[in-house]
Amino acid sequence: MTGAGGAARTAPERTSRFTAFAERVDRRTPAGRDRAVDGLRAVALLAVPLGHWLLGGLELGDDGALRNASPLSAFGFFAPVSWVLQLLGIFFLVGGYASVRSYHRRTGTTAAWLRGRVARLGRPVLGVAAVWAVLIPVLSLLGVPWTTLRTGSTLVVQPLWFVGVYTVVTALTPYCVRAARALGCWAAAPLLLSVAAVDLLRYGPWADAVPSWLGLLTILPGWLFGYQLGVSWGEGRIDRARAGVLLFGGAALFAVLLLFFGYPASMVGVPGEARTNSHPPSLLVLALAAAQSGAAILLRERIGRWLARPRLWAPVVVVNLSAMTILCWHQTAMLAAAVPGSYAGELAGLTTAPDTVGWVLARIAWLPLFAALLVLIGRYARVFEAPWRTGTRASAALRALAGLLAAGFAVFALGPG
């Protein structure tokens, strides 16, 4: 009798193994580790693939090629989902908090500290770009349509802009520390005001006379806003009272902008819409980031108590250790299902137009497969997170080759169609 009985016996065994693993991770965690911050980072990280998998569709054309499509074009009521899944404000908040703690613990120069952090961010990006530079000609030879390859490359590049922006704001950490010590929580206010000023110019009475590139001026202050809040938090300059102001002030500003100033409801771009909130960031993004940051700071102690339980803490550790792998490879995981699936024709939720409720339900059903493929890819892709060998001609040649391949992929992905 190995059927139901065997399954019944193996389930407790799996539970026991996980419990043992969780307790081992818990014992190895330093006593001073801020589990709440790691937990917030894990949630923000997982929101990235979940958001892209839910809010980004692929439609199979008559020519057999896949093209990007968004369910938000058909379902305006779906926009509030993006308020929950757009957690970049939280990500920059905890990034600023962790960076200032790391900055104060550095043993070498500021330049050496920054080089180390940039290298940890850059290796996985270089890896995924180099791999795709090899995949594109191989897949083309195998008959994958050129349009599908361009669609796929666009999806792969889509989350990588974040790494460039995050690298720049990380480089500004020493200045953010000085600002936090001088102004406390208010150090982020000039960033918010600068974005508000640009929004007034590009959406206000003078909008027709303003060049379209002006919106690019919000990229740095828009994403530095959450990071600066995190630095101020790490410096001990945001207490619960100020966190409450961030929560309710940000929520109030968000509601006013949405209801009275014509800001799009979706936090991600919607095909056909003239305005977008996130690329480049609008004032609505900063309002959401302020509210999310305030809520995160207020919930810190409660989250820390939850994560004192080994079975909850162990998954957080695993996600944080795989952070860049998740960020860089989650779109590849979805494509690993969609590209082969396109040869089977129209598969609901995978290669069909995202314009029915049935598509939404079917896409949710595909999520476990996407996650499983990401885990599988991650087993091999995590090698790009480890430090690369240096000091030999072979290692130097490999790094140069990876750089050339990544540059070639960038030209293909970002070039004209």
Distance CA 247, CA 226 (A): 13
Residue 213's Cβ-side half-sphere holds a number of Cα atoms within 13 Å equal to 0
The pTM score is 0.91
In DSSP terms, 59 is beta-bridged to 67
Q: What is the DSSP string of 248-289?
A: HHHHHHHHHHHHHS---S-SS--TT-S--SBTTB-HHHHHHH
Is residue 37 pLDDT above 80, yes or no? yes
* Whether pLDDT at 240 is above 70: yes
Q: Once rounded to an integer, what is the mean pLDDT over residues 22-28?
A: 94
Question: How far is CA 223 from its chain centroid?
Answer: 13
List, for residues 357-384, the tens digit of each pLDDT value: 999 999 999 999 999 999 999 999 988 8
How does DSSP classify residue 386? S
CA angle 57, 60, 65 (to 5 degrees): 115
Selection from 75-89, 159-173, 358-372 with the highest mean pLDDT: 358-372
Using the predicted structure, report yes or no on whether residue 189 has a pLDDT greater than 90: yes
pLDDT of 1 > 50? The answer is no
Q: Which of 35-44, 73-82, 203-212, 379-388 has the lowest mean pLDDT?
A: 73-82
Q: Which is more confident, 39 or 413? A: 39
7 pLDDT above the threshold of 70: no
User: What was the pLDDT predicted at 4?
Assistant: 47
Contact 270, 276 (CB under 8 A): yes
For residue 399, give both structure tokens: 């790094």
* pLDDT tens figures, 57-68: 899 999 999 999
- Residue among 93, 46, 40, 84 at smallest CA distance from 307: 40
Question: What was the pLDDT predicted at 186?
Answer: 95
Please tell me whether the peptide bond between 30 and the residue prior to it is cis, using omega within 30 degrees of 0.
no
User: Residue 374: which H helix or E strand, with range?
Assistant: helix 357-381
Predicted confidence (pLDDT) at residue 11 exceeds the cutoff of 70? no
Q: What number is the average pLDDT over the span 346-366? A: 93
What band does 2 get if pLDDT is binned at 50, 70 and 90? very low
- Non-local (6+) Cβ contacts of 395 within 8 A are 388, 389
Lowest mean pLDDT among 161-170, 237-246, 254-263, 283-292: 161-170
Mean pLDDT of 98-114: 93
> Where do runs of H (alpha helix) occur along 106-239?
110-141, 146-157, 161-171, 173-183, 189-203, 219-234
Would the pLDDT of 416 be above 80? no
| pLDDT at residue 241 greater than cutoff 50 | yes
- What does pLDDT average to over the chain? 91
Look at residue 139 in the predicted model and tell me its pLDDT: 96
Looking at the chain, how many residues does it have?
A: 417
Query: Which tens digits make up the pLDDT trace of 267-279?
Result: 877 766 778 888 8
Q: What does the pLDDT average to over 254-268? A: 91
Give the model's pLDDT for residue 40: 96
> CA 89: distance to chain centroid?
10
> Nearest-CA neighbor of 24 among 317, 296, 236?
317
